[in-house]
Amino acid sequence: DAGVTQSPTHLIKTRGQQVTLRCSPKSGHDTVSWYQQALGQGPQFIFQYYEEEERQRGNFPDRFSGHQFPNYSSELNVNALLLGDSALYLCASSSWGDRYSNQPQHFGDGTRLSIL
């Protein structure tokens, strides 16, 4: 049973460029959340997708956008990259129907994004 998979594992970009990160949820899950984890910090919530719509959003600028596909996979897009966007980007999946049943979210191993 495949867990949450993220690609690529590592990515190096320069300031001003754009990047797309990808996430496939755990089998049976239909909800995807994205988090940004700067070095030495805890993850910060970016947004959550269900039924191809953004359901919740954290305190991140519009440069951060996302998409969810009919197969529940998701993309995170970041435009006009800044040095401060360097971080580990984590994807978590869950089941929307279980959101009140105290089931933990499942996390992928993340994409390490470095901005030069």
Partner 1 sequence: KQEVTQIPAALSVPEGENLVLNCSFTDSAIYNLQWFRQDPGKGLTSLLLIQSSQREQTSGRLNASLDKSSGRSTLYIAASQPGDSATYLCASSSFGNEKLTFGTGTRLTIIP
Q: Is 107 exposed, middle or buried (0-12, 13-18, 19+ CB in 10 A)?
A: middle
107 lines the binding site for partner 1 (CB under 8 A)? yes
60 lines the binding site for partner 1 (CB under 8 A)? no
* Residues in region 31-50 near partner 1 by CB under 8 A: 31, 33, 35, 40-45, 48
104 lines the binding site for partner 1 (CB under 8 A)? yes
Q: Which stretch binds partner 1 (CB under 8 A): 17-25, 60-68, 74-82, 98-106?
A: 98-106
From 68, 99, 91, select the one nearest 3 (Cα to Cα).
Answer: 91
Is residue 27 within a helix (H) or strand (E), and if so which, with residue range? none
